[in-house]
Amino acid sequence: MARTIIMGDPQFFSVRGGANPHTRNALGLKKKVDPELARQQWHAMARALLAHGAEVFVVEARRELPGLVYPANAGFLYPLEGCAAAAKTFHLANLLPTRAAEREVYRPFIESLGFKTSPIRHRFEGEADFFPAGRFMLFTYGKVERQRFVPAFALPPWRRIYGLRSEAETIEELRPIVPDREIVALELILEAHYHGDTVLCSFGPQREFLLAYMDGLSPPSRDRLRDAFGGGLIELSPADAALYAANSFQIRNEGRHYLFMPEGISAQLEGAVRERGVEPVKINVSEFMAKGGGSIKCMILDLGPASEQPVNGDSAAFRARRSYKRLFG
């Protein structure tokens, strides 16, 4: 098994809070999910990951918490790789109010897998906004606002304020956690690209290459990114960015690297990934993107190499019960 990941059972996937621009129509009404299509797409993605060497554990669905299908927001494991499980801690996210109750689902789940947990106090949405890229850790943040409708001189005569998800001050909590890595802080500016993993994706043997939708970042952040990555930067077109091409996930299996990417991306982008020694694997999760505003990476929480997972008896028994293969065959 090359990689251990968590996914969230899609049984109750729906638009409950409508907390990003993808979840509502032009009138501001919450979209309706096709549950059968969502289940088909979710299982197809899970099985594709398994076929490429992943080990998949599944968080049980809860009707009142449909956002559990996007576990990338749960937090982040650090160190992610390169050391024994006992040296790793999972840092729990502090989610927006409509999803705040998810923390007390993820905390016991992660602990049952055998990892220590620790909470983040500031508003912060996990590895969706904090992830490795080459020798850096990238931290993305933006203006956090109370979500609401406000009047507008347009049709309809109102608009929805969504805001961003992780606040800039979180970096003061993150620095002591990763003292061995330089953090590059980047400001997000588009509500439709409300997490860093919707505008940025690191990949390659050392995650040294970076897909980036530059229009989703403030001008100073764009400059910072170009300085940090130079020729390793691949700037996304608006069309590829709109498909959440940056919301991709890399797996290494049998000596080869694969990047799971949304169906519909351009041939030019596929070619750019292949040129860097990584094979694109296209996945259709359009129901999750169009209705929930989350694509492939949003649906995955990365727990690092399978060889570095806890192996004590209690965690092994829990892992056996919650494995995709045990639950779904």
Pairing of strands 233-235, 249-253: unpaired
Both tokens of 266, joined, read: 């351009």
What is the pLDDT at residue 278?
A: 98
Pairing of strands 116-119, 89-92: parallel
- Non-local CB neighbours of 45 within 8 Å, separated by 6+ positions: 260, 283, 285, 296, 299
Cα–Cα distance between 276 and 145 in angstroms, integer?
A: 39
Going from the C-alpha of 62 to that of each of 50, 69, 101, 127, 316, the distances in angstroms are 24, 10, 11, 22, 24
Question: To the nearest whole percent, how much of the chain has pLDDT over 70?
Answer: 100
Cα–Cα distance between 284 and 261 in angstroms, integer?
A: 9
Give the pLDDT confidence of 28-68 residue by residue, as tens digits: 999 999 999 999 999 999 999 999 999 999 999 999 999 99
**For residue 124, what is the domain's CATH number?**
3.75.10.20
Cα–Cα distance between 40 and 85 in angstroms, integer?
A: 33
Cα–Cα distance between 329 and 310 in angstroms, integer?
A: 23
The domain in which residue 292 lies consists of 3-328
Q: What Rg, from alpha-carbon coordinates, does the chain have?
A: 19
| Residue 300 pLDDT grade (very low, low, confident, very high; cuts 50, 70, 90) | very high
What is the pLDDT at residue 2?
A: 86
Phi and psi for 83 in degrees, rounded to 5? -155, 170
Contact 228, 186 (CB under 8 A): no
Contact 245, 203 (CB under 8 A): no
Cα–Cα distance between 267 and 16 in angstroms, integer?
A: 35
Specify the DSSP element, H or E, that contains 221: helix 219-229
Residue listed under structure tokens 């990934």 = 273
Average pLDDT, the chain: 97
What is the pLDDT at residue 329?
A: 87
Cα–Cα distance between 300 and 313 in angstroms, integer?
A: 25
Give the pLDDT confidence of 184-217 residue by residue, as tens digits: 999 999 999 999 999 999 999 999 999 999 999 9
Of 1-5, 9-13, 88-92, 231-235, minimum mean pLDDT range: 1-5
- The domain total for the chain is 1
Contact 296, 283 (CB under 8 A): yes
Residue listed under structure tokens 């251990």 = 4
Cα–Cα distance between 107 and 118 in angstroms, integer?
A: 9
Contact 81, 132 (CB under 8 A): no
Q: Residue type for 196, please?
A: G
Give the pLDDT confidence of 105-126 residue by residue, as tens digits: 999 999 999 999 999 999 999 9
User: What is the biggest distance separating any 2 CA atoms in the chain, rounded to whole angstroms?
Assistant: 62
